[in-house]
Amino acid sequence: MSSSSSIAAARRRRAGGPPGPQPPSSTSNRPSQNNSDNTPQSQASPINPLMLLQQHHAKITSIDQVLQDIVKNQDVLNNDILTINTKITTPVVNGINSSENMIMSTANSQINVDEISDLVMSRVEGQLDLKAFYDNDEKLMNEIESLKTVVQSQQLVINGLSTTLHSILTKLDLIMSSTEEKANVEAAAKAKREADEKANVEAAAKAKREADEKAKVEAAAKAKREANEKAKVEAAAKAKREADEKAKVEAAAKAKREADEKAKVEAAAKAKREADEKANVEAAAKAKREADEKAKVEAAAKAKSEAEEKANVGGQAAAQAKPVTTV
């Protein structure tokens, strides 16, 4: 089995088709193509991602080539116009040159290669699912690696069979006696060895290119994953900082409210204590004034009673001391 048939079988297996019928002859291709034109599109096998990538690459390459041709033609037109301007100095030609310069400036203003390239790349990135392409490309790379291993093992088997056949022919002495035939056989063997070596070198180079492309794709995917993880970590850190700041603000507001309430309660308690003390002082002063007044009233009453008693005692003494007159 050759490498091309192995790759074709792998593509059919990946596309979900039958396990590889034999390709028809050149005479039977024409009616089969006509029949395929009559068959509905639903029976066609799905598009291979590698083929789709190749088609997009070809389209982008053709667009780039067209842009380069436009730039080259514009440069040639500029050079021609400058040459005409240096050779012809008449007013009419100057007017023509000025009109051509205006046309050139408008063409330059209308054609901007960088903007067109950016527009094309943005359209391609917007319309294509590059992640699916990367996943399909990775799967395809893995299948190509397995196919390469199969091809190398088959090449080793073919080389072993060739060596065995050569040794059998040598032992059985079946090599042609003719020098020309022997030279032809040796030349064929040499050409075969060279072809095998060339195929091995090409397979190694192809494997290296595929490995490099796979490494590039994996590096791009890894960079994208790391960027996404970094963005998530930064968003989480930002959210945490905002939550901490919000909690600090709320805690400060709560502490301020509690302090205000505590100050109000303390102020009310202090005012109540002061009012109680003031009431006690006023009650004590009032009680003292009442006691003083009461003491004054009692002292006056006592003094009055003592004076009355003293007066009564003095009257009785005077009555006793008055002489008794007789008639």
pLDDT, tens digit only, all 327 positions of the chain: 445 555 566 666 665 544 444 444 444 344 344 444 444 444 455 666 677 778 778 888 888 888 788 888 777 777 766 665 565 545 444 555 555 555 555 455 455 778 888 888 788 777 777 777 778 888 889 999 999 999 998 889 888 888 888 888 777 765 555 566 777 778 888 999 999 999 999 999 999 999 999 999 999 999 999 999 999 999 999 999 999 999 999 999 999 999 999 999 999 999 999 999 999 999 999 999 999 999 999 999 999 989 888 888 888 877 777 655 554
Q: Specify whether the CB–CB gap between 222 and 138 falls below 8 A.
A: no
Return the domain boundaries, the chain: 47-128
| Nearby residues of 56 by Cβ (< 8 Å), 6 or more positions away | 124, 128
Among residues 82, 65, 10, 17, which one has the least CA distance to residue 44? 17
As a whole number of angstroms, the distance between CA 245 and CA 39 comes to 68
User: Tell me, what's the pLDDT at 24?
Assistant: 41
**DSSP letter, residue 41:** G
Q: Cβ-count burial of 306 within 10 angstroms (0-12 exposed, 13-18 middle, 19+ buried)?
A: exposed
Cα angle 55-118-52, degrees, rounded to a multiple of 5: 15
User: From the CB of residue 200, how many other CB atoms can be counted at a distance below 10 Å?
Assistant: 14
pTM of the entire structure? 0.23
